[in-house]
Amino acid sequence: MFSLCNTVQPQVTVPLSHLITAFHTPKTAAYFPSSASIQSLQRDACPDQETHSSEPTFNLRDLGLTELRIKQLDKIFDQLLPGIHTDTNKRPAHWHTSYVSSQSFFENKTGFPGVYNTLRSCSILRQQPRPLKQICNDLQNWPVFIQSRGFKTLKLKTKRLQSTSEIENTAPSFMKGFLMRDRLPDVDNLDKLVKNKNIPDGHEDTFKTGFAEGFLKAQALTQRTNDSLRRTRLFLLVLLLIGIYGLSKTPFLSVRFRTTSGLDASVDPVHMKNVTFEHVKGVEEAKHELQEVVEFLKNPQKFTVLGGKLPKGVLLVGPPGTGKTLLARAVAGEADVPFYYASGSEFDEMFVGVGASRIRNLFREAKSNAPCVIFIDELDSVGGKRIESPMHPYSRQTINQLLAEMDGFKTNEGVIIIGATNFPEALDNALVRPGRFDMQVTVPRPDVKGRTEILKWYLSKIKFDVSIDPEIIARGTVGFSGAELENLVNQAALKAAVDGKDMVTMKELDFAKDKIIMGPERRSVEIDRRNKTITAYHESGHAVIAYYTKDAMPINKATIMPRGPTLGHVSLLPENDRWSETRSQLLAQMDVSMGGRVAEEIIFGTDQITTGASSDFDSATTIAKMMVTRFGMSEKLGVMTYSDTGKLSPETQAAIEQEVRSLLKESYERAKNILKTHAKEHKNLAEALLMYETLDAKEIQMVLEGKKLESR
C-alpha cells in the first residue's frame, strides 16, 4: 500500500500498483533535468510530520516518475481517487478525532507519548545467528521475516531488500554459489549516464530505449550464465561424491582390503593359477613340504581316515630372495581352495584397534569359506615379541588377536596359515609354538644343483648362446640366492641389448657377475699415476697372498678399475659350497685381508701407507673376534663363548682383546713373510694390473708363473 497525507483530508490508502499504473499512463514529452522526490512533496504538504515520521524517502526515478510534473500529479490523484470529495459541511468535532495504536498496550492504556499523523507499522526481522545456526537456517527458505502488524508499504519492502542484502553478505560462500543467485552490480543513474555521455538534444529517448534493451539482454545473458555455473557446480559435486564412493569400494591392491579405515575391511580371495610348483627351483625340500599341505587340502579324507588333523600353520624361514613368497604363490596356484593374502605391515595403522579388527575380518571371511589358506608375508611386522612399553600400550592388540584366532577358545578347522619371515628370532614365542605354526620350513640359499636349475629356468626365457654351460656359472656364483641369479641373467640380457648383440653370451654373463660382486665400473673417474700405482700394489698384495696361502679361496678376478666405493677389488670365490669353515681357512682369510697394507708398507714405506686398508682391517678383526668369542678357537680362553662382552669382567675383556690382537699380529707377520718371499711375482702382477687394469684367474696364474700375457 502507499499512503498520502493532506492538511485537510484524512489519510487515504490505495493500492500501490494502481498508483504506479496511473502514473505511467499519461506520459508527457516534457522533461525536467532535476528530479522531484516524495520527500519534497511530503515536506510541502505536511511540514509538521518531519519531526515525528521516520519513513524512508524514495526518488521518483526509482518509480519511473521523473517525467511527471507536480501539476499533473493533482490531476492523476483526482482521477485515481473516486468518491473522495471535500465536504463543505461542517461536521461535529468528534469526526475530526483519530487515534493511532501505539507499539504497546501500556502506551494505549496510559496515554500516547506524542501525536502521530501516520500509522506506524513494525517489522521484526530475524537477527543474525551464530555461524553454525546461520548455515542450517540458510538451507531453508531464507530470508524469513516475521511481520507482526502493519501495512505492506514501500518502506517495508525496502527494509526486506536491505535485510536480504545483509544476509547475502554474511552467508557462507558455498551457499552463495549453489543456493543463491548472484546479484548484479549496481548500474549508474540513467540521467547521470546521459549527462556524462553528452547525448545531443533530441536523442535522449533513443539512448534510453537502446540502454533499456541492452540492459535487459545483458541481464538475461548474465542470468543464463549464472544458472549454467550453478548446474556445473552441482554436477561436479555429485561426480566427486560418486568418485569417492567408488574408490571406497575398490579392492586395495593385492592385499584385498577394500578400505583402509578398518571399519569396513572385508577381504577377497586371490586367484593365481599362472604359478605352480613347476616354477619353483632350487628348494626341493621346502617345495615337498608344501606339496603335502596342498594334497591335504585337495584330499583331506586320505589323512583323516587315520586320525590325522589338518596342520594349522606353516612358517617359512630363510634369507631374502630364496623363494618364500614364490612358494606361497605356488600353493595358491596348486590348491583348489580360496587363498587369502595379506602383508604383516598392513594391519596396524594410526588408529587404535584397526589391526585387531582386520585380523578378525580376515579370519571371519576365511572360516566362512573353509577349507582355505591364509598367507601372511613379513610375519615379523605383526607377530613380533610383545614388550611392556608405556609409549605403545595398545601395540599388543593385533598379535593377541592373531594368537586367539589361530588357536584360541574357538577352533578354526579347515584354515591353514602360511607365514613368511626373514627374522624368526624376532617372533613371539607364543606364535611359533605347535598348535599355531605346526611346521617350520627353512628355505636356504640354493646349492650348486639348485643354482644350475634356476639358471636353466631363467636362461630359457631369453635368447642365449647354446655354448653357455649353466653349471660353470653356478659354480662361480657361490652364495647367490634365486633373486640374485635372476638379476644376473637380466643384467646380461640388458648388456647384450646395449652392445647390439642378438643373443647373450658368456661374456655378458661374466660382466653381470662382476657387476653384482664388485659393483659397477666407474670409468669416468680420473686417477693420477701415483694413486694407480699404490692401488695396483695393494690389490696385487691381496692376490699374491691368496695364491700362495694353502687354504685360501681361489682368485676369481683382480682389478684396479674403480667399482662402487672402492678404487680396486680382488674377487675370491670358492670352488664348492662351504657349509662350515675350518680354523686354517679363517686364518687364511685374515692373511689375505692383511696383504694390502703389508704390500704398501714394503713397497712405499711406513710413511706412505694409505687409508685403503680400513675395510680389510674390519674384516680381519671380525674374524678374529668370532674365533675367540664364538668359535672357541683360542687356546688361552678355551671353548667358552662370550656373547655380550659388555657384561664381562674387566679381566676377561682384557684377555679377549689381547687374544684378538695376538691373532691379528700373527696374521700380519705371515703376510709380510709371503710378500717378501715372492717380491718378484708381486712386482710383475702389479705392473700387469697397471697395463691391463683387470685380470681374471687364468691371467693372474700366468703372471705369477712368469709367463707373458697375450696382447688384448
* Residue 371: CATH number of its domain: 3.40.50.300
> Is 539 an active-site residue?
yes
pLDDT of residue 113: 52
Min mean pLDDT across 211-220, 273-282, 700-709 is at 211-220
Domain C-terminal end among 418, 442, 466: 442
Q: How confident is the model at residue 136 (pLDDT cuts 50, 70, 90)?
A: low
654 versus 217: the higher-pLDDT residue is 654
- From the list 442, 444, 443, 472, the residue with the least C-alpha distance to 456 is 472
Domain presence at residue 199:
no
Q: Cβ atoms within 10 A of the Cβ of 609, count?
A: 17
Q: Three cell numbers at 404?
A: 586367539
Domain presence at residue 192:
no
Domain presence at residue 171:
no
Q: Are residues 484 and 619 in the same domain?
A: no
Catalytic residue among 539, 601, 659, 699: 539
Rounded to an integer, the average pLDDT of 409-422 is 81
Domain presence at residue 6:
yes
For residue 653, the domain's CATH number is 1.20.58.760
**Mean model confidence pLDDT for the chain:** 76
Q: What pTM did the predictor assign? A: 0.58
Rounded to an integer, the average pLDDT of 339-361 is 83
φ/ψ bin of 202: left (φ > 0), alpha (ψ from -120 to 50), beta (otherwise): left
Give CA–CA dist 201/508, Å, rounded: 98
Amino acid, single-letter form, for residue 80 = L
Rounded to an integer, the average pLDDT of 261-278 is 66
Q: Are residues 423 and 287 in the same domain?
A: yes
Amino acid, single-letter form, for residue 534 = I
Q: Are residues 562 and 675 in the same domain?
A: yes
pLDDT of residue 115: 47
What is the tens place of the pLDDT at every residue in 483-538? 999 999 999 999 999 999 999 999 999 889 888 888 888 877 788 888 999 999 99
For residue 463, the domain's CATH number is 1.10.8.60
pLDDT of residue 66: 53
Q: Are residues 586 and 602 in the same domain?
A: yes
What φ, ψ does residue 608 adopt, rounded to 5°?
Answer: -110, 15
Domain presence at residue 126:
no
Q: Is the model's pLDDT at 547 over the cut of 90?
A: yes
Q: Are residues 533 and 678 in the same domain?
A: yes
pLDDT of residue 207: 67
Q: Is the model's pLDDT at 282 over the cut of 70?
A: yes
Domain presence at residue 159:
no
Domain C-terminal end among 468, 491, 518: 518
What is the tens place of the pLDDT at every residue in 305-318? 887 777 788 999 99
Domain presence at residue 105:
no
For cell 598348535, the residue is 435
Count Cα atoms within 13 angstroms, Cβ side, for 505.
6
pLDDT of residue 572: 87
Domain C-terminal end among 96, 112, 130: 96
The whole domain housing 317 covers 277-442
For cell 586320525, the residue is 307
Q: Are residues 555 and 692 in the same domain?
A: yes
Residues 298, 365 contacting (CB under 8 angstroms): no
Q: Are residues 405 and 427 in the same domain?
A: yes
Q: Are residues 90 and 66 in the same domain?
A: yes
Q: Are residues 510 and 563 in the same domain?
A: no
Q: Is the model's pLDDT at 52 over the cut of 60?
A: no
What is the tens place of the pLDDT at every residue in 361-374? 888 888 888 788 89
323 versus 186: the higher-pLDDT residue is 323
Q: Are residues 301 and 434 in the same domain?
A: yes
Q: How many folded domains does the chain comprise?
A: 4
Q: Is the model's pLDDT at 675 over the cut of 90?
A: yes
Min mean pLDDT across 91-105, 265-279, 390-404 is at 91-105
Domain presence at residue 524:
no
Give CA–CA dist 685/568, Å, rounded: 14
Q: Are residues 692 and 591 in the same domain?
A: yes
Q: Are residues 337 and 377 in the same domain?
A: yes
